[in-house]
């Protein structure tokens, strides 16, 4: 069997190179068919991952530890205790980049101009500075530092609606942990602009210790513990382990997907449409490939007929066609991946907003702006996956020519 297979491979290999032009067209179409999806998907995934990472760092991390009931009713009377123990355990974990404690208060901010519903995030300023992009989004005044007390930062849209500037005051009304109404004065230390109108018109940040004071939480309790992991791709697995090892009775570890389902849905849908466009594109490109393979087989019908006449089996001919497409795939798919990655390297770091002159708010997903700097997602498994999918598609395309060969009439072909 082996020499036979080797000979079939030899025939296939030589047949491919007999018609160089056709072969180059086939290989070119597969290269494009592999390179283009690699480029687009890695680019798209890069944007999504950047977005997820940004939002995770801004909000409650890739993984969030919170009260089991908090999702259903995010109120201040559902906090998690013993946070320091879990926190230090997580910070000694190799997979964790950082953790951030947060106290989240829903309430109303008032000024003489009016009152606006807001969410007050009590945060650890030093943690946010190392983790979140918000400290870099301050457009006026300064970001928070530890012990800032009544000083808070607010979004530019909220500042507009409340008609306040840096140094001015507003009153924040909320409920404390016993459900009693509490009121406190805050002064604007800084105004931020993320580009997300939802965030910029709704969020107030202050030092976590003061936020705890406002609602009467002790220093061992938070609404959420946000965990920034080193590799967000496998946060689901880590999450499960932590749930078993670390979580207390009423605490639960959740994925950013559960914390921010709207963003997850948006990304899922956006990603879905990208994939659909890709599939259509790949089909178009594969069609070129398909027609060249088909042509090459149809042109050689007589050759196949004579091979059959001298005793070649159909299965052996099919094997030859299979090897031909296999060789196409083996040559073209790696080149395609390589070129796709090369193109990604080439555009990496480019500021896309220059290209389309878009308002950053036009590029938002789920209310969060995408980073306009191109940061492709270079993932070997992803690139390999695309390459393999295209490769398999090419092999599947080889089936039709095989079918045609099986229908060749030896007598008719040889008579011609």
Partner 1 sequence: MFKIFLVNIFICIIFLNYANASNLDPEKILDEVDDLYRSNSSHGIITLSVTTINWKRTLTLEQWSKGEDNSLIKVLKPKKEKGLATLRVDKNMWNYMPKVKRVIKIPSSMMSSSWMGSHFTNDDLVKQSRMTEDYTFSITFEGTREGKDIIEITCIPNKDAAVVWGRVEVIVFRNDYIPIRMIYYDEDLLLSRILEFTDIKIMDGKMIPTLMSMIPVNEPDESTIIRWEKIQFDVSIDDEFFSLRKLQQ
Partner 2 sequence: MSTVKSNEIVLLQNIKKDYGQGNVVTEALRGVDLKLVKGDFTVMMGPSGSGKSTLLNIIGGLDRATSGKTIINGQDIGILSNKALSLMRLNNIGFVFQNYNLIPVLTAYENAEYVLMLQGINPLQRREKVMSLLQEIGLDGLENRFPRELSGGQQQRVAIARAVASDPQLVLADEITANVDSETAQSLLELMVSLNQNNKTTFLFSTHDPAVIKFAKRVIILKDGNISNEKLSSVEIEESTHK
**Bridge partner residues of 252 (DSSP):** 66
- Site of interaction with partner 2 (CB under 8 A): 1, 3-4, 7, 10-11, 14-15, 18, 302-303, 306-314, 316, 410-411, 414-415
If the CB atoms of residues 77 and 413 are measured against partner 2, the closer one turns out to be 413
Q: Is 181 in the site for partner 1 (CB under 8 A)?
A: yes
CA-derived radius of gyration, the chain: 30
**Binding partner at 292 among partner 2, partner 1, none, C-beta below 5 to 8 Å by kind:** none
Q: Is 170 in the site for partner 1 (CB under 8 A)?
A: yes
In whole angstroms, how close is the CB of 20 to partner 2 at the nearest point? 13
Give the span between the Cα atoms of 124 and 208, in whole angstroms.
6
**Binding partner at 175 among partner 2, partner 1, none, C-beta below 5 to 8 Å by kind:** partner 1
Q: Which range touches partner 1 (CB under 8 A), out of 24-32, 137-145, 168-176, 310-318? A: 168-176
Place of tokens 């220059």: 354
Q: Which range touches partner 1 (CB under 8 A), out of 27-35, 80-88, 177-185, 375-383? A: 177-185
In whole angstroms, how close is the CB of 313 to partner 2 at the nearest point? 5
In whole angstroms, how close is the CB of 292 to partner 2 at the nearest point? 18
Give the span between the Cα atoms of 211 and 207, in whole angstroms.
6
Out of 4, 10, 18, 113, the only residue in the binding site for partner 1 (CB under 8 A) is: 113
**Binding partner at 275 among partner 2, partner 1, none, C-beta below 5 to 8 Å by kind:** none
Out of 22, 71, 168, 271, the only residue in the binding site for partner 1 (CB under 8 A) is: 168
In whole angstroms, how close is the CB of 395 to partner 2 at the nearest point? 21
Q: Is 169 in the site for partner 1 (CB under 8 A)?
A: yes
Beta strands in 243-358 (DSSP E): 251-255
| x/- letters, 93..112, toward partner 1 (CB under 8 A) | -------------xxx-xxx
Q: Which range touches partner 1 (CB under 8 A), out of 11-19, 181-189, 240-248, 371-379? A: 181-189
Give the span between the Cα atoms of 188 and 167, in whole angstroms.
5
Residues 6+ apart with CB under 8 A from 101: 83, 87, 123, 124, 127, 208, 222, 224, 225, 226
What the block records as the tokens of 14 is 């030589």
Give the chain's end-to-end CA distance (angstroms, integer). Answer: 33
Long-range contacts of 371-375 (CB under 8 A, 24+ apart): 371/47, 371/50, 371/51, 371/54, 373/349, 374/43, 374/46, 374/347, 374/348, 374/349, 374/350, 375/46, 375/47, 375/50, 375/348, 375/349
Give the span between the Cα atoms of 298 and 37, in whole angstroms.
30
Give the span between the Cα atoms of 47 and 361, in whole angstroms.
15
Q: Where along the sequence are the contacts to partner 1 (CB under 8 A)?
A: 106-108, 110-117, 150, 163-164, 168-175, 179-181, 183-185
């Amino acid at each position: 069997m082996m020499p036979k297979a080797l000979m079939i491979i030899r025939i296939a290999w030589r047949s491919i190179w007999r018609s160089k032009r056709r072969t180059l067209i086939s290989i070119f179409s597969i290269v494009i068919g592999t390179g283009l999806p690699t480029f687009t998907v890695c680019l798209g995934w890069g944007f999504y991952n950047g977005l997820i990472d940004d939002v995770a760092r801004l909000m409650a991390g890739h993984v969030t530890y919170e009260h089991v009931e908090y999702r259903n009713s995010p109120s201040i009377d559902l906090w998690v205790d013993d946070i320091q123990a879990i926190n230090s355990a997580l910070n000694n974990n190799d997979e964790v980049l950082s953790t951030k404690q947060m106290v989240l208060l829903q309430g109303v901010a008032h000024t003489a101009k009016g009152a606006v519903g807001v969410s007050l995030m009590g945060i650890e300023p030093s943690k946010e500075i190392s983790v979140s992009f918000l400290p870099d989004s301050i457009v006026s005044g300064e970001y928070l530092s530890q012990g800032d007390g009544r000083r808070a930062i607010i979004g530019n849209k909220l500042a507009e609606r409340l008609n306040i500037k840096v140094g001015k005051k507003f009153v924040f009304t909320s409920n404390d942990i016993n459900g009693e109404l509490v009121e406190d004065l805050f002064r604007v230390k800084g105004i931020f602009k993320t580009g997300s109108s939802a965030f910029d018109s709704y969020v107030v940040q202050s030092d976590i210790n003061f936020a705890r004071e406002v609602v009467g939480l002790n220093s061992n309790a938070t609404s959420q513990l946000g965990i920034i992991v080193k590799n967000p791709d496998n946060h689901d697995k880590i999450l499960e382990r932590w749930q078993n090892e670390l979580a207390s009775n009423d605490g639960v570890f959740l994925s950013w997907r559960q914390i921010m389902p709207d963003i997850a849905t948006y990304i899922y849908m956006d990603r879905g449409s990208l994939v659909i466009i890709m599939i259509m594109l790949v089909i178009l490109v594969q069609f070129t490939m398909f027609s060249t393979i088909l042509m090459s087989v149809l042109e050689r019908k007589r050759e196949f007929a004579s091979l059959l006449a001298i005793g070649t089996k159909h299965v052996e001919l099919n094997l030859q066609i299979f090897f031909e497409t296999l060789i196409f795939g083996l040559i073209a798919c790696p080149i395609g991946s390589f070129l796709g990655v090369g193109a990604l390297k080439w555009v990496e770091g480019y500021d896309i907003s220059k290209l389309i002159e878009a308002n950053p708010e036009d590029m938002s997903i789920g209310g969060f702006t995408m980073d306009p700097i191109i940061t492709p997602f270079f993932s070997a498994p992803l690139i390999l996956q695309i390459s393999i999918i295209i490769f398999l598609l090419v092999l599947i395309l080889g089936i039709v020519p095989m079918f045609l060969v099986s229908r060749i009439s030896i007598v008719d072909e040889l008579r011609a």
